[in-house]
Amino acid sequence: MKLQWSHCVLRVRDLDAMLEFYRDILGFQISDRGPLGPEGPEIVFLTTASTDHHQLALAATRDASEASSLDHVAFRVPSIAEVRSIFEVVSDDDRVSRVAPVTHGNAISVYFSDPEENSIEIFCDSPWHVAQPQIRGWDPRLTDEEVLASVREAFSDQPEFGPMDRYRAQAAKELKAK
């Protein structure tokens, strides 16, 4: 299996200051933002590439006592089968904790923690764009086709649901305009 680096999520104390830094100094653009849950803190998704919904996300979840700002690191794989394979491997490994099959509508993922409790996401892209943040579970026992059908059913009524190719083409235009 070949993992491809995708993104990281940082827990931040001052969302506005961090957003300003990454946007104004490093050239990131906001691709999505919203609350983590019904009354949760805000998360902002940032990118510099139309091929990636986000390369960095900033979540306003870090309190003053936390030394680390890292929430998780993410790696892309090319297929649901590979996500499922990782799910099976980590589910059977007693060094791994907090295994969770999750979908965001635009990705099918498995989250887990390594032996030192660092959170890792392994995912493949879905064929759809969905405004973020979104989170639901998925059943790794389903076939690839059943997983895609369940994701489509779960998210088709969500804002901005549509083909990923259309989203990427629009994102490319917006990135070129800035």
Beta-carbon contacts of residue 140 (< 8 Å; ≥ 6 apart): 83, 84, 87, 88, 101, 110
Single-letter amino acid code for the residue at 160: E
- The most confident of the ranges 3-7, 60-64, 125-129 is 125-129
Q: What is the pLDDT of residues 56-105, one digit of tens each?
A: 999 999 888 877 788 899 999 999 999 999 999 999 989 889 999 999 99
Q: How far is C-alpha 78 from the chain's CA centre?
A: 15
Mean pLDDT of all residues belonging to the chain: 92
DSSP symbols for 157-168 = TSTT-EEHHHHH
Q: What is the pLDDT of residues 98-110, one digit of tens each?
A: 999 999 999 999 9
pLDDT at 25: 77
Phi, psi values for residue 149, rounded to 5°: -65, -40
Question: What is the pTM for the complete model shown?
Answer: 0.80
Domain 4-177 has CATH 3.10.180.10: yes
Single-letter amino acid code for the residue at 91: S
- pLDDT > 90? residue 174: no
- High-pLDDT (> 70) share of the chain, %: 99
pLDDT at 175: 82
Query: Nearest to residue 144, comparing CAs of 54, 84, 59, 63?
Result: 84
**Residue 7: beta bridge partners?**
74
Residue 178: pLDDT band by 50, 70, 90 thresholds?
Answer: low
